[in-house]
Amino acid sequence: MNARPRMLVLAGDPTGIGPEITAKLLAMPEARAAASITLLGDPDVLATGAKVAGLPHSIFDGLPFVEHRASGAPYPMGRVSREAGAFTLGTCARPVSRSARVQRMHSSSRPSISRR
């Protein structure tokens, strides 16, 4: 049996480079082929990361996703804030188990994101 490892990917602080790096990583076919990836976080934060990386947010399509919405979003990019830190900690603390709601990402069902 040659099962791929399972990975839960969190983009990190929504004001930092994590969402952009996550998008760039998932745009690499070899990265997606190396593991069974599930995303954890806010789909709007991930879409913003894809936009900053110059990638379509459709790169997340088909990936399992555990949603954790960022209250108070959008957060200003590049600016440290208590709220963004609390969101990141809350995402890390989110219990992920068999009972967690896992859905599939679909770019057509998400609103477009505008950066301020």
Task: Copy the structure tokens of residue 72.
Answer: 């108070």
Kindly tell me if the per-residue pLDDT of 97 is higher than 50: no
Average pLDDT, the chain: 78
Among 21-25, 92-96, 100-104, the range with the most confident prediction by mean pLDDT is 21-25
- Taking CA atoms, 32 is separated from 6, 28, 91, in Å, by 11, 7, 22
Q: Which of 50, 80, 84 is nearest to 70 (CA)?
A: 84
Q: Counting beta carbons within 10 angstroms of the beta carbon of residue 74, is it exposed (0 to 12), middle (13 to 18) or buried (19 or more)?
A: middle
pLDDT tens profile 29-75: 999 899 999 888 888 888 989 999 999 989 988 888 888 877 666 77
DSSP reduced 3-state for 29:
helix
DSSP reduced 3-state for 71:
coil
Kindly tell me if the per-residue pLDDT of 112 is higher than 80: no
DSSP reduced 3-state for 5:
coil
